[in-house]
Amino acid sequence: MHLKKQVDLQFNVAQLLREPVGGRREYTFDEENLSLDNDVSLQKITGDVRFTRTPSGVLTEARVRGVVERLCTRCLDQVDQSIALHFCDEFHSKIEVNTGAPLPQPDEEDPFFINENHLVDVGQAIREYTLIELPMQALCRGDCKGLCPTCGVNLNDISCDCPSGEEDERLSILKSLLD
Ligand SMILES: [Zn+2]
Ligand SMILES: [Zn+2]
């Protein structure tokens, strides 16, 4: 294992690209925070990654753990969701590393690319795989009772005396007056 050498989960593979197919590099990494989407971020990230030189770029195999902090969709309490990822993806070169000549477009849908500075953005792959792994709903627990729609208390903590029916009391008085 090499010491971690990365900026924002980007790894420079310029040297590896000059090696024959099968050449390898391994790194461990940690990162406090990776923004995912709409105020959601992956935090306390730790992982390791292995790059293997392929004819058109580098195969990137990574194991990653982290935590996503979200709000319970019913009661708005904070929920920590643990994420564990293991993925293996090829990052393709757009240019030949020695000559700078352009390389053909890979035959793949939405391929990952090594950027023009020979950086592999592992963070981009982590972001995409985390969003796939993330449960649609964030619930603090399966039977979360949520917030009272009338007075707003957290019904997991206390109960309230609000009428549980759909109709508000004043509304039913108004209705009876109209009748
Ligand atoms: Zn909840
Ligand atoms: Zn209430």
Domain ranges of the chain: 10-143, 145-179
- pTM > 0.85: yes or no: no
- Residue 156 CA, ligand 1 centroid: distance in Å: 8
| Nearest listed ligand to the Cα of residue 148 | 2
128: CA distance to ligand 1 center in Å?
A: 26
Q: In a 3-state reduction of DSSP, which class is residue 174? A: helix
Find the 40 Cα to ligand 1 centroid distance in Å: 17
- Tell how far the Cα of 72 is from the centroid of ligand 1, in angstroms: 5
Q: Determine the residue type at 167.
A: E
Pick the ligand that lies closest to the CA of residue 140.
1
Task: Give the whole-angstrom CA distance, residue 60 versus residue 25.
Answer: 10
Ligand 2 (ion): which residues have CB within 5 A? 148, 150-151, 160, 162
**Distance (Å) from CA 165 to ligand 2 centroid:** 11
pLDDT by 10s per residue, the chain, length 179: 444 444 579 999 999 999 999 999 999 999 999 998 767 899 999 999 999 999 999 999 999 999 999 999 999 999 999 999 999 999 999 988 888 888 888 888 889 999 988 999 999 999 999 999 988 889 999 999 999 999 999 999 999 999 865 555 666 666 677 66
CA dist 72 and 149 (Å) reads 15
Least Cα distance to 4 among 29, 40, 25 occurs for 29
Coil vs helix vs strand at 42: strand
Q: Per the structure block, which two tokens stand in for 162?
A: 């609000």
CA gap 56, 98 in Å, rounded: 13
